[in-house]
Structure 1
Amino acid sequence: MPPLKVTAQATALRTVFGLPQRVRRLIAGPPVRIDGQELALDAQLLLRMQQLGRIPPMSQGTPQQARAHLDGGTLLVSGPPIEPVSARDVRLDTIDARLYTPSGLAEGSPLLVFYHGGGFVLGSIDSHDNTCRFLAKHAQVRVLSVDYRLAPEHPFPAGVLDAVAAFEYAHAHADELGADPDAIAVGGDSAGGNLATVTAYLTTRAGGPKPVYQLLFYPVTDSTVRTRSQELFAERFLLTQEDMDWFTAHYATREEDKHDVRYSPMLAPDLSGLPPAYIATAGFDPLRDEGEAYAERLRAAGVPVVQSRHADLIHGYANFLAVGTRFQQAMFEAVGALRTGLGISIKESVKE
């Protein structure tokens, strides 16, 4: 149960978001327009409340301090546990995970193996608990959330090794998880989106079992370039350039790590044969351009891709389920894409 202080703060935050629109606009300030986009009022108000609360940037302090700040912030914006969804902790050989099952879901259902975001340094199955509950309930799939090892204690490629191992375990033990081994997707947000698509790439190239679908929220895809969106949104919009540099310094301990396709999948010479993908980006996110460039690379390689830019949103929106309505709207679009993608993959496997 969250501490009373956090519960009171969460209630106060939701009260602010429940105020009339004109009052919320007064608190948030004048509309923000950059690059032909206007920031959603919900996003602008959240950033304003962060500023008023004097929440420190993720890159200030130690990784342990940043993890504590993230955990506290998640409790404020993700809301109470979404029901009816059961959750049980499971062990995937050496990796901790949590399996979510929406009420009434039959055995042999599709499964989403989910990797949380946090720059490869922060985040956990707890920080993304409600995100996974949301996906499980509304997409009517089981969700296996993976607690992969984090940097700097476990730098690159530890996270990749865990991500691939978790997928392989899920496929080999699908019956134990109540899942269909021929209907397993991978997904994740930010760093987790990177691990999801890298897992899809490595398993495809290995010729073994591979995911049938990719659900990628603002994924990290190329750490070797500085994009236009990184220049435009280097400050003020939750994820900053300073944060990204801090994450990279902890995760990629050698310069050559940044050029490894297991970290920068954009550099892979051949992306053909990868599973279909839904790639969502946020307009006011420094990761916007690399996510969209990766979608184009996949499309050029013949991979079916749905690329959706939420031009009015910011990085991290998959976790902001309890504040306003705009963030949930974006997540419902992802739910629709996941259900459709899995449905098509199941029909295709039946034909074969």
Structure 2
Amino acid sequence: MAEPVDPSLADAELTAFIEAVRRDPGPPARAVGAVELRRAQRVRAEARPPGPEIAHVEDLTVGPTAVGARLYRPSAAVRALVVFLHGGMWTIGDLESHDRACRRLALRTGAAVLSVDFRRAPEHPWPAAVDDCVDVLRWAVAGGGAGTGIAGPTVVMGDSSGGNLAALACLRLRDEGGPLPAAQILVCPNTDLTLSRPSTRSMATGWGLTTDDVAWGAEQWVPDPTRRGHPEVSPLHAVDLGGLPPTVVITAEHDPLRDEGDAYAARLAAAEVPVRHRREAGMIHGFLTLDTLSPAAAAAGERVFADVTDLLDQVN
């Protein structure tokens, strides 16, 4: 049984949302499948209010393998490029599902945002998504954005499974000896696909995202169960986290992925990587896209954007 919602840690709107999901959680992801989950997500995205107006939005392809992406530029002169990797259990999520979040991010930080349309499972299992994200980051760090009027440092930001991809891409680039992003921002990241941390049990149901849905996504992306604890898919299992760029890790109190995100932040700090880590009280997984539902979630998202802004001030 999920613990009661503490209204002092969230707000009435988020509390009502959680209670509604508990009354009618709907069928599990493994019973629905990726195609229907994507269709339902598109319907929800279309029902949300559109994101704020922004000076320039352009769909394009980038890098040597022509990965699809959407560029948001809030003004003619931008201070940096944020490569954004969306969440969605490696199987859903796309440029539309996180369009509003990317617009808010660009406007709040003054940076250009490049949202990456990487390949998804089950059609494209691991390592396809990592390959796409690494290609885009190589292109961006090497100055690929100059052709679109972008100057300044490149940072990478990932939400949920996108946080997993951001962490894996940075580890691969470090191991290759190539240039790294100036920083990484990981929001509610998947870091351990074995799903063996205590919060995956204590918050397995009742908080929106279920541990079984995450397990299904991991199965689609990494079909071989013996590989899910490998560092190439679970960054928390990397032997060495030294040499990675300055990092922000944000976790949510009521999230089955909370403990693995907290543990990754602790391991980064132990490896002497500069880390800012915050656990958002009262929040659930995916709060970054719940701003139209809950003022508390919107405020938590604003704090993440402030973290990005502070990090850009440091690396500029």
Q: 1:165 to 1:138 in 2, by over 3 A?
A: same
Aligned position for 1:139: 109
Amino acid at match of 2:100: N
Structure 2 unaligned regions, length at least 5: none
- Quick one: distance in 1 between partners of 2:289 and 2:217? 19
Which of 67, 71, 92 aligns to 1:99? It is: 71
Determine if contact 1:279/1:295 at 8 Å carries over to the other structure.
yes
Give 1:72 deviation, angstroms: 2.0
Aligned position for 1:314: 284
Aligned position for 1:22: none
Amino acid at match of 1:149: R
SS where residue 262 of structure 1 aligns?
Answer: coil
State, as a whole percentage, how many aligned pairs show the same letter: 34
Aligned position for 2:132: 162
SS where residue 259 of structure 1 aligns?
Answer: coil
SS where residue 91 of structure 2 aligns?
Answer: coil
Which of 13, 31, 36 aligns to 1:42? It is: 13
Is 1:231 the equivalent of 2:201? yes
SS where residue 30 of structure 2 aligns?
Answer: coil
Aligned position for 2:299: 329
Structure 1 unaligned regions, length at least 5: 1-29, 347-352
Aligned position for 2:54: 84
TM-score when normalising by structure 2: 0.92
- Quick one: distance in 1 between partners of 2:277 and 2:305? 14
Determine if contact 1:115/1:146 at 8 Å carries over to the other structure.
yes
SS where residue 89 of structure 1 aligns?
Answer: strand
Which of 259, 282, 295 aligns to 1:289? It is: 259
Q: Who wins on radius of gyration, i.e. which is larger?
A: 1
Give 1:203 deviation, angstroms: 1.2
> Once the two structures are superposed, what CA deviation does each residue of 1:55-105 show, in whole Å capped at 9, x if it has no partner?
5443331210011112222344x5212123421101114311000011x34
Aligned position for 1:10: none
- Quick one: distance in 2 between partners of 1:53 and 1:230? 21
> Once the two structures are superposed, what CA deviation does each residue of 1:190-249 show, in whole Å capped at 9, x if it has no partner?
000011111111112222111111111100001124111111110111110210111111
SS where residue 95 of structure 2 aligns?
Answer: coil
Amino acid at match of 1:269: V
SS where residue 123 of structure 1 aligns?
Answer: coil
SS where residue 100 of structure 2 aligns?
Answer: helix
- Quick one: distance in 1 between partners of 2:187 and 2:4? 25
Aligned position for 1:32: 5
Aligned position for 1:114: 84
Which of 246, 249, 254 aligns to 1:276? It is: 246
Amino acid at match of 2:71: L
Aligned position for 1:252: 222
Is 1:74 the equivalent of 2:45? yes
Between the two proteins, the alignment pairs up a number of residues equal to 311
Which of 210, 214, 228 aligns to 2:184? It is: 214
Is 1:341 the equivalent of 2:295? no
Q: 1:38 to 1:302 in 2, by over 3 A?
A: same
Determine if contact 1:170/1:177 at 8 Å carries over to the other structure.
no
SS where residue 81 of structure 1 aligns?
Answer: coil
Determine if contact 2:10/2:296 at 8 Å carries over to the other structure.
no
Give 1:287 deviation, angstroms: 0.2
Aligned position for 2:175: 205
